[in-house]
Structure formats: C-alpha cells, structure tokens
Amino acid sequence: DTSPIKQDNDKTAKLEAFVADDRGEKLTTNHGVKINDDQNSLKAGDRGATLLEDFILREKITHFDHERIPERVVHARGSGAHGVFKVYEDMSDITRAAFLCDPGQETPVFVRFSTVAGSRGSTDLARDVRGFAVKFYTQEGNFDLVGNNMPVFFIQDAVKFPDLVHAVKPEPDNEIPQAASAHDTFWDFISFMPESAHMIMWLMSDRAIPRSYRMMEGFGVHTFRLVNASGVSSFVKFHWKPLQGVHSVAWDEAQNISGKDPDFHRRDLWDAIEAGAFPEWELGVQIVAEEDEFKFGFDLLDPTKIIPEELVPVQRIGKMTLNRNPDNFFAETEQVAFHVGHVVPGIDFTNDPLLQGRLFSYTDTQLIRLGGPNFHEIPINRPVVPIHNNQRDGYMRQTINRGKTSYGPNGIATNDPRQAKAAEGGFVSYNERIDAKKIRARSRSFFDHFSQARLFFNSQSEAEKNHLIDAFSFELGKVKMVDIRTRMLGLLNHVDKGLAAAVAYSLGLHVPTIPLAELNGSIPADADPADYTPEQ
Ligand code: HEM
C-alpha cells in the first residue's frame, strides 16, 4: 500500500527529537562535563586575575558572544505558529500536488506573520504590509506559499526591490523612522514610481493596520501555475480567507496600542492559541485556463494587478488551522527559511518578473542569515520526507552520509539515489513555449498603473475613503520636501480627483497636472522609443 496517509507526516513528533529535556538534570558544559560552579570564574587567588584555562568561563562567554544572527533584511519582525492544512476535495483535475488531491491527508504547516519595514524589536502596529508565509510539509517535499496580506505589490520587476527597501527602511544618516513609511525617502521613491499607485492605496487603507494576524487575508500575489498529471497547466492566484473575518483598527488606536503594547499582534496570536481558540483560514484559488491568458484588460504576469473576484470567483478548496505555539522563538520562528521557489510537483511558476527575481533572492539571503549551505538541516526547515542527494559537506553539516560515492552517474554504488520520472513523483517544469528576443524592458501590457488603483478606491465605503484621505494627509504631512508632496498629489489625481483634492487641502497645496502619458508606463518624454518598444 503506497497511500501517502500511511507515511509519517507528524512534524511535531519530528521536532520533538531535537527538543532538550533539562528537567532534574545537572549542569554540564557543551561537551557533557558536569559543572560544579558556574557562578565563580577560576582565579589566581581570591583577589587575583582570571585564568585562561577556565574552560567553563570561556565556553559560557564565547557562546553568549555569538548568540545573535542577522535579522531578516525585510520582514524582520514576525510571529510564528504550527498548524495543519486539509484540502476539502480532490483537486487532481487541475493539479497533481498530492496534498491538494487527498481530502484524507492532513499536512503539517508552519506559518510566520510579519511586518516588512521595521526591525526585530519594532512595534506590531506600524502602518505596513504584513507577511503571511506558510510552509506546507507535504509528502512530496516542502511547499512554501510566501505571501502578504495585500494582493498586489509596489513594483513590477524584482530589480527595483533593493531601491524600494532602501527607500522605506529608516533613513541611512540617522536611522529614523523606525517601522514607518511616513518619511521623505519612501515617498520620494513612490512619487517616481507610478506602478506603485495600486499598492499605495492598499497601504494607506485600513488593511495596513490589522486588528490581529488572525483577522487578515493572505495572498500569493503573483500568478502561479497549477499543473495536472496530464501536464495541463492553469493559472492560479492563491488566497487565504480568515474565518475570523477581516478586521482592522483605526489609526489613532494603532498609535495608542504601539505605545502601550508593541507586541500586540504577537501576544494576540499566542494567547488565542494557548486558549484553544485556534485561528482558521480557508485556502482560496482563482483559476484561469491557459487559453484565457489574454482575455483580461491587464496582464496576469503583472504583480500590481488583481484578478477581480467578479471576473474569476475565489473557490475555497481547503482549511488551515493554527493549533500549536512554537516551543522556542529562535529555533523555530527566527530560523525558519521560507522561499517562494520551494514548490512541489503540480505547482509551478509564471514569468512574472517580480516572482522571477524572488526565486533568486530567498536562498541567497538565507545563506548568510543562517550561516551557510546546510540551513535546510535546521529542524524547522527539514521536510517530513527524507532527503537523498549527492550534496555534501559545508559549514555545520549534520548528516552523516555513508559510502564511497557522492556523484552520478555512478557505477560503483548499487543503491545510490536515482532520478525520479514524473510518474514516480519527479518534479518536471512546465514546458512553456518561449520564442522571443532578449530585451531589457517591460511589456506594454504592464503600462496601465491607475485603473485598478481607482477600482480599489471606488470599492471603499465612505468611512474607509475618509481613512484613506486621513492616512495620505498624515503620511505626506510628515514629508519635509514640498516637491515630493506635490509629485504625490499629481499621482493621486490620476487615481481619483476628489482624493487628490482632499489631501491637497489638508496639506495646503495645489494639485499639479501631470499628463497621464508621462506616468502610465513611466516613459520619460525625451526617451528614445527604440529603448522602450518591446516585442508586441
Ligand atoms: C522575506 C513576501 C517580494 C526578498 C519575505 C517574507 C515574506 C515575503 C512573507 C517573510 C518570510 C518569513 O516570514 O520568514 C514577499 C511578497 C513579495 C515579496 C509577497 C511580492 C509579491 C520580494 C522581492 C524580493 C524579496 C521582489 C527580492 C527580489 C525577500 C527577502 C526576504 C523576504 C530577501 C528575507 C528572507 C529571509 O531572510 O529569510 N518576503 N516578498 N521579496 N523577501 Fe519577500
């Protein structure tokens, strides 16, 4: 019987093997020698200098000296939880991913929620995007859905990500402000980045100050692919719908809470799970058939666009329940390494240029953050299935690989790991047809930056619209350079004239007129068209 349900998928039990049990034990050094005094260092006489031979002192202080690792370059502030996921019905008509095909299968997950801009100790209730990263420990390896609580992003191409993050992080001369977008460098960058118009509307909305991590939606943002066993691919947008509902706080509340309890969201998640009030989300998918790729007025590969639910409804296909707090923040929440490139057979990428850059970035940053090429061996990152390959050695290697050979093809070892055909569960990349010239530009289908920003504004209630006006007025009010404020008003005017006028009134400024042609596609007026004309 090869039913995957019979396999050992208990991630909690696997972690248990690494849990230290110090109860009732004697203190020891890291080398197992019992310690009879760890409160007095070894000295030459009771008033003399400390001796270099004091291995107990040296070990204790050396380990302490090396306790810190770099915080994440973005999403440094976060909270994690364990849970489970179950699909409602067999989805094998659209994907061969086994964990989405067997309603009897319970897949363990680890989730990390985060803010983006602030450092590890910053307040939970900053106006910011929230990360919503889920690691599914499936029977076919780990699948990470590394999403946010907003369905779109600031930029259309990963090459701009370092600029975006340098602009939003505290300013480099004085490291101010902590965890806030209300400052000159952020709005300066945004004012030159019309493609961020849609995301900025979300960021200034109540979605950026959630009531609780338990009450946020999650989004995979990019269009991904699902591929079935016959190799047929569909496009998919992933959603998480919280069964607790979507709730936010008001800006005044957010500021009060930040002052009184910067751990507000962390505490709320922890306490709910401790109390047995397990938060739940349904996994939603919007499916678009391959042949419908071009039927929308926007490009499915453009991460600044949603697929409106009126056009393609969200089907709820399964449920995630968070039911266990981590045992140790550092070992689990800090050392977990999510990567948008961790996919399993049946899930694949599209050519979204933001996604493509992310596929490089995560492992690259984790190589330094987690100290070398073996961070997949850290307990929280291990899949529930065994690892078999010819990768060897490197800093902090834990695995003891037996035998003479570590290469393939191999005629010496008789039972070395061999490649798996698709029918045996091997990952086969979707064989998308590509016939194009190399070009350093973006597609004209990415050029409309304002239609969906306007759609979002119009979707808001009167109260929510007023919150948006207040948020823009507050944030731009913190910007010192008038040029930046004015450029932003010019952008907002293309989203909604009433919005721009109301913010301008608060700021005591006039709304400038910037021709749409200068903003959509952000082609400079004096540009050589040859540089900006990609293949049609
Ligand atoms: C971290 C989401 C775009 C680079 C994260 C995390 C999330 C996330 C949720 C936190 C993971 C955790 O909890 O450990 C997103 C989303 C994006 C996006 C939804 C756009 C749709 C990008 C881009 C890049 C990037 C374009 C780079 C080109 C990083 C890096 C980290 C990170 C370097 C830190 C990872 C670590 O240290 O473990 N991202 N991100 N992200 N993201 Fe992104």
Residue 523 is predicted with a pLDDT of 54
Residue 341: both structure tokens together: 């490139």
Tell me which residue of 509, 515, 513, 519 sits closest to 473, measured CA to CA: 509
Q: Whose CA is nearest to atom 19 of ligand 1?
A: 147
* Dihedral sign computed on CA atoms, order 502, 504, 507, 508: negative
Residue 156 is predicted with a pLDDT of 97
Residue from 69, 71, 72 to probe ligand 1 pocket by mutation (most atoms less than 8 Å from CB): 72
Atom of ligand 1 nearest to the CA of 75: 10
Verify whether ligand 1 is closer than 6 Å to residue 112 (CB atom): yes
Residue 535 is predicted with a pLDDT of 38
Residue from 75, 304, 368 to probe ligand 1 pocket by mutation (most atoms less than 8 Å from CB): 75
Atom of ligand 1 nearest to the CA of 131: 9
C-alpha of residue 186 to centroid of ligand 1, in Å: 18
d(CA 44, CA 155): 64
C-alpha of residue 74 to centroid of ligand 1, in Å: 7
C-alpha of residue 362 to centroid of ligand 1, in Å: 7
Residue 362 annotated as part of some ligand binding site: yes
Residue 369 annotated as part of some ligand binding site: yes
Please report, for residues 136, 215, 389, 393, the alpha-carbon distance to residue 398 in angstroms, rounded to integers and kept in the order given: 23, 39, 14, 9
Supply φ then ψ for residue 461, to 5 degrees.
-75, 170
Residue 148 among the catalytic residues: yes
Verify whether ligand 1 is closer than 6 Å to residue 158 (CB atom): yes
Complex ipTM: 0.95
Residue 418 annotated as part of some ligand binding site: no
Verify whether ligand 1 is closer than 6 Å to residue 146 (CB atom): yes
**DSSP assignments along 258-292, one per residue:** HHH-TTHHHHHHHHHHHTT---EEEEEEEEEEGGG
Verify whether ligand 1 is closer than 6 Å to residue 220 (CB atom): no
Q: Which of 9, 142, 148, 149 is catalytic?
A: 148
C-alpha of residue 77 to centroid of ligand 1, in Å: 12
d(CA 213, CA 115): 10
Length of the chain equals 536
Question: Which residues in the chain land under pLDDT 70?
Answer: 1-8, 521-536
Residue 531 is predicted with a pLDDT of 52
Verify whether ligand 1 is closer than 6 Å to residue 339 (CB atom): no
C-alpha of residue 160 to centroid of ligand 1, in Å: 13
Atom of ligand 1 nearest to the CA of 354: 26
Q: Whose CA is nearest to atom 3 of ligand 1?
A: 358
Q: Whose CA is nearest to atom 24 of ligand 1?
A: 358
Neighbour tally for 5: CB within 10 Å: 11
Residue 494 among the catalytic residues: no
